[in-house]
Amino acid sequence: MSTERPPLPDGLVAIVKRDCPTCVLVEPVLQALGGGGLHVYSQDDPTFPADLHASDDTDLTVSYHWDIETVPTLLRIVDGEEAERIVGWSREEWETFTGVEHLGPDLPDWRPGCGSLSVDPTRADELRARFSASGLRSRRIDFADLEDEFEAMYDRGWSDGLPVIPPTEARVARMLEGTDRAADDVVTIVPPDLVECTVEKVAVNAVMAGCLPEYLPVVLTALEAACTSEFNMHGLLATTFFSGPIVVVNGPIRKRIGMNDGVNALGQGNRANATIGRALQLVVRNVGGGKPGGVDRATMGSPGKLGWCFPEQEEGSPLTPLSVSRGVDAGVDAVTLFAGQGPQAIIDQKSRTAESLARTFAACLRSVAHPKLCIKIDAMLVISPEHGRVLADDGWDRARLEGRLAELLTLDSDELIAGADGITEGLPEGFAGMELPKFRDGGLLICHAGGGAGLFSAIIGGWVNGEEGSDPVTREIA
Amino acid sequence: MSANTVLDPTSERSVAERALLERPTSLDGKVVGLLDISKPRGNVFLDRVEEGLRSRGAADVLRFAKPTYTKPAPVDLRHEIATKCDLIIEALAD
């Protein structure tokens, strides 16, 4: 199958369809121009216009490749290339374009054209698959007519347990419209099998996850961030710990693709939130080969490992956005990958001062992983709008909050050593007699999200950080 | 392109078909399929094979045939066999 643009003859070329009232209206004009060498292509009926012997473009090859959006379209072809075009009917335009006077004297002066069949929504996917998807390199897998395709995909182990959408050529080609990157461009090396993963393979899995094409840039960037050595997707997958990759999205793209940063922002119910994180996990599963019970050795896991992505609510937040705090310019789209567990609620319905609320945050944050463990595990604090307002009312910004939390979470190590408080878990004896931070510098990530009602915030505990674990990674969305 | 053709989402390091099942140790109660690849007189040979299988405890023997021996069995036929049979003998005769 060719995706080459078919040549058009030099001179005037008209693309029409009988189903278009404007094309029917200008039939006598086309016939008048026919004597002067006008060449007509018909999208639906080569016997139209009468007596002109129109070329058959019912398979829309010409219309698709010459980007015809409206019929009638009149093209001037010079040396095989388009010199100019007009669309619809305007006597004045047509006379200027053709150099012929008194065209269609009985016709109205002007009529808009109709949509070209090559951009008809019911045909566009099939055409894109026919003309552009032939470059897709993934192995084709046929299902039997009597085979249920959803069951067939389960049988092949492609699902995380929930149904996946069949990644047909047409769907994958449409998904690839979401990025300017070439389908065969290698995005990254995906663990645990360390497989080169192309944009096409990401698109296949994004289709299966339920993504729309406009989510694809977020998925691609999230995958790149996850597969860095700092984030350590391999270790995060293989660990017996609960954690999985959490994607926090910042920047205008949140709104453009319809993400939910409001009511139930960390929960279900929004397509973008639900499918972006799932697409990332499906790539790790299907391309990387990382499956529970295989390399994924989680003792219990977490429901968030189906995929967890949410946007920060930047509007009305007392805090600079998380991405900005991590070095990205304001207003630039970015993802932050965090190796996190599930959300743990903080209830504080009485604090009306930032200081009191910060003390609540600190008391709850101290319990991350274990009240006697520190430094080695990061955490994310998701502040709700109502708690955010308490901070804002006292004029606290990100720096003030982070500074105060660092003070409040500076711990007396005598309380942390093994055996203290009757608990064997704890630090070695040698750490006695000093002050230690609960979180390493930069180990507490704070963002803002949620519905407008509820004096609650959330802690998302992390996994072990640094060389033996995962460091959060923030990337601008390309 | 059929709506039933999808793009492989995996690394394509393993074959698209699923792994072979374990070989059965006896024919007792098993439904056996005989796939005639459609070479001349293959059916004569397969009739005798069917007799032998039935006398050795097979619960049933179902007969299938490829449209032509020069091409792989159509995916629908493979699915029908997989649905109906416990085991299949692809029977080549010439």
What pTM was estimated for this model as a whole? Answer: 0.75
Q: Which residues pair with A338 in a beta bridge?
A: A246
Q: Which amino acid, one-letter code, is at B56?
A: R
Beta strands A334-347; A444-448: pairing state: unpaired
Q: Which residues pair with A476 in a beta bridge?
A: A334
| Residue A45, pLDDT score | 94
Taking contacts as CB-CB distances below 8 angstroms, the residues of chain B near A176 are none
Which of B7, B18, B21 would you mutate first to test chain A, the one with the most A CBs within 10 A?
Answer: B7
| Residue B24, pLDDT score | 86
Residue position matching structure tokens 């608990």: A423
Distance from CA of B11 to the nearest CA of A (A): 5
Distance CA A278, CA A304 (A): 9
Least confident of A164-178, A255-269, A453-467, B67-81: B67-81
What 3-state DSSP class applies to A343?
Answer: strand
Taking the CB of residue B88, how many other CB atoms lie within 10 A of it? 18
Taking contacts as CB-CB distances below 8 angstroms, the residues of chain B near A195 are 11, 13
DSSP 8-state secondary structure symbol assigned to residue A431: G
Token pair in block for residue A441: 């510098």
Q: Comparing C-alpha atoms, which of A252, A183, A181 is closest to residue A478? A: A181
CA distance readout (Å), A286 to A157, A160, A171, A408, B13: 8, 10, 18, 44, 11
| Residue A37, pLDDT score | 87
Query: Chain B residue closest to A205 (CA)?
Result: B9
Q: Do A146 and B12 touch (CB under 8 A)?
A: no
Residue among A129, A144, A167 minimizing CB distance to B6: A167
Distance from CA of B5 to the nearest CA of A (A): 5
Query: Chain B residue closest to A158 (CA)?
Result: B9
Q: Do B5 and A140 touch (CB under 8 A)?
A: yes
Where does the pLDDT of residue A1 fall: very low under 50, low under 70, confident under 90, or very high at 90 and above?
Answer: very low
Least confident of A118-127, A406-415, B79-88: A118-127
Distance CA B66, CA B36 (A): 6
Whether residue A151 lies within 8 A of chain B, CB to CB, comes out as no
Percentage of the residues of chain B whose pLDDT score is greater than 70:
89
Residue among A144, A147, A287 minimizing CB distance to B10: A287
Q: How far is CA A22 from the centre of its chain?
A: 40
Taking contacts as CB-CB distances below 8 angstroms, the residues of chain B near A146 are 76, 79-80, 83
| Residue A254, pLDDT score | 98
Taking contacts as CB-CB distances below 8 angstroms, the residues of chain A near B4 are 142-145, 147, 149
Residue among A144, A168, A289 minimizing CB distance to B76: A144
Q: How far is CA B5 from the centre of its chain?
A: 22
Give the CA dihedral A346, A348, A354, A358, nearest 10 degrees: -40
Where does the pLDDT of residue A3 fall: very low under 50, low under 70, confident under 90, or very high at 90 and above?
Answer: low
- A193 sits in which H/E element: none
Where does the pLDDT of residue A366 fall: very low under 50, low under 70, confident under 90, or very high at 90 and above?
Answer: very high
Whether residue A437 lies within 8 A of chain B, CB to CB, comes out as no
Q: Do A168 and B3 touch (CB under 8 A)?
A: yes
Mean pLDDT of A187-205: 96
Distance from CA of B55 to the nearest CA of A (A): 33
Whether residue A117 lies within 8 A of chain B, CB to CB, comes out as no
Q: Comparing C-alpha atoms, which of A409, A415, A416 is closest to residue A440? A: A409
Taking a C-beta distance cutoff of 8 angstroms, is the pair A382, A447 a contact?
Answer: yes
- A132 sits in which H/E element: none
| Residue A31, pLDDT score | 92
Residue among B7, B12, B75 minimizing CB distance to A169: B7
Q: Apex CA A276: angle with CA A143 and CA A122, to 5°?
A: 55
Whether residue A282 lies within 8 A of chain B, CB to CB, comes out as yes
Distance CA B62, CA B27 (A): 14
| Residue A121, pLDDT score | 82
Distance CA A125, CA A106 (A): 39
Mean pLDDT of A50-67: 93
Token pair in block for residue A432: 């006695």
**Maximum mean pLDDT: which of A364-368, B35-39, B89-93:** A364-368
Q: Is the sign of the CA dihedral A191, A193, A198, A200 positive or negative?
A: negative
Q: Do B9 and A136 touch (CB under 8 A)?
A: no
Where does the pLDDT of residue A2 fall: very low under 50, low under 70, confident under 90, or very high at 90 and above?
Answer: very low
* Per-residue pLDDT reduced to its tens digit, A398-426: 999 999 999 999 999 999 999 999 999 99
Where does the pLDDT of residue A442 fall: very low under 50, low under 70, confident under 90, or very high at 90 and above?
Answer: very high
State the DSSP string of A251-318: STHHHHTT---STTTTSS--HHHHHHHHHHHHHHHHTS---BTTTB--SS--GGGG-EEEE---TT-S
| Residue B74, pLDDT score | 85
Where does the pLDDT of residue B22 fall: very low under 50, low under 70, confident under 90, or very high at 90 and above?
Answer: confident
| Residue A134, pLDDT score | 59
pLDDT above 90 (res B94): no
Q: Is A400 exposed, middle or buried (0-12, 13-18, 19+ CB in 10 A)?
A: middle
Q: Which amino acid, one-letter code, is at A175?
A: M
Region for A332 from its dihedrals, namely left if φ exceeds 0, alpha if ψ lies in -120 to 50, beta otherwise: beta
Residue position matching structure tokens 């300017």: A180
Where does the pLDDT of residue B16 fall: very low under 50, low under 70, confident under 90, or very high at 90 and above?
Answer: low
Taking a C-beta distance cutoff of 8 angstroms, is the pair A185, A216 a contact?
Answer: no
Residues ≥6 apart with Cβ < 8 Å to A391: A318, A319, A354, A357, A383, A401
Query: Chain B residue closest to A159 (CA)?
Result: B9
Q: How far is CA A72 from the centre of its chain?
A: 37
Taking contacts as CB-CB distances below 8 angstroms, the residues of chain B near A167 are 6-7, 9
- List residues of chain B with CB under 8 Å from any CB of chain A: 1-13, 16, 18, 75-76, 78-80, 83
CA distance readout (Å), B53 to A94, A282, B44: 81, 45, 15
What 3-state DSSP class applies to A246?
Answer: strand
State the DSSP string of A348-408: -SS--SHHHHHHHHHHHHTTSS-TT--BSEEEEEEE-HHHHHHHHHTT--HHHHHHHHHHH
Mean pLDDT of A97-108: 93
Residue position matching structure tokens 């998302």: A460
| Residue A122, pLDDT score | 83
**Maximum mean pLDDT: which of A49-63, A125-139, A257-271:** A257-271
Where does the pLDDT of residue B83 fall: very low under 50, low under 70, confident under 90, or very high at 90 and above?
Answer: very high
Q: Do A158 and B9 touch (CB under 8 A)?
A: yes
Q: Comparing C-alpha atoms, which of A305, A291, A269, A282 is closest to residue A175? A: A282
- How far the first Cα of chain B sits from its last, in Å, is 35
Taking the CB of residue B13, how many other CB atoms lie within 10 A of it? 9
| Residue A358, pLDDT score | 98
Token pair in block for residue A198: 């192309």
Percentage of the residues of chain A whose pLDDT score is greater than 90:
91
Average pLDDT, chain A: 95
Token pair in block for residue A89: 């009917």
Compute φ and ψ for A385, nearest 5 degrees. -60, -40
Taking contacts as CB-CB distances below 8 angstroms, the residues of chain B near A144 are 4, 75-76, 78-80
Cis peptide bond prior to A437, omega within 30° of 0: no
Q: Is A154 exposed, middle or buried (0-12, 13-18, 19+ CB in 10 A)?
A: middle
Distance CA B66, CA B35 (A): 7
Taking contacts as CB-CB distances below 8 angstroms, the residues of chain A near B6 are 140-141, 143, 149, 153, 166-168
Query: Chain B residue closest to A190 (CA)?
Result: B11
Where does the pLDDT of residue B42 fall: very low under 50, low under 70, confident under 90, or very high at 90 and above?
Answer: confident
Where does the pLDDT of residue B3 fall: very low under 50, low under 70, confident under 90, or very high at 90 and above?
Answer: low
Query: Chain B residue closest to A286 (CA)?
Result: B10
Residue among B6, B75, B76 minimizing CB distance to A168: B6
Distance CA A240, CA A300 (A): 8
Q: Do B3 and A155 touch (CB under 8 A)?
A: no
Residue among A129, A145, A200 minimizing CB distance to B4: A145
Cα atoms in the Cβ-side hemisphere of radius 13 Å centred on A477: 27
Q: Do A143 and B8 touch (CB under 8 A)?
A: no
Q: Apex CA A231: angle with CA A230 and CA A236, to 5°?
A: 130
Cβ contacts from A onto B, under 8 A: 90
Taking a C-beta distance cutoff of 8 angstroms, is the pair B89, B49 a contact?
Answer: yes
Taking contacts as CB-CB distances below 8 angstroms, the residues of chain B near A149 are 3-4, 6
Percentage of the residues of chain A whose pLDDT score is greater than 70:
99
Taking contacts as CB-CB distances below 8 angstroms, the residues of chain A near B75 are 142-145
Distance from CA of B21 to the nearest CA of A (A): 14
pLDDT above 60 (res A468): yes
Distance CA A311, CA A328 (A): 15
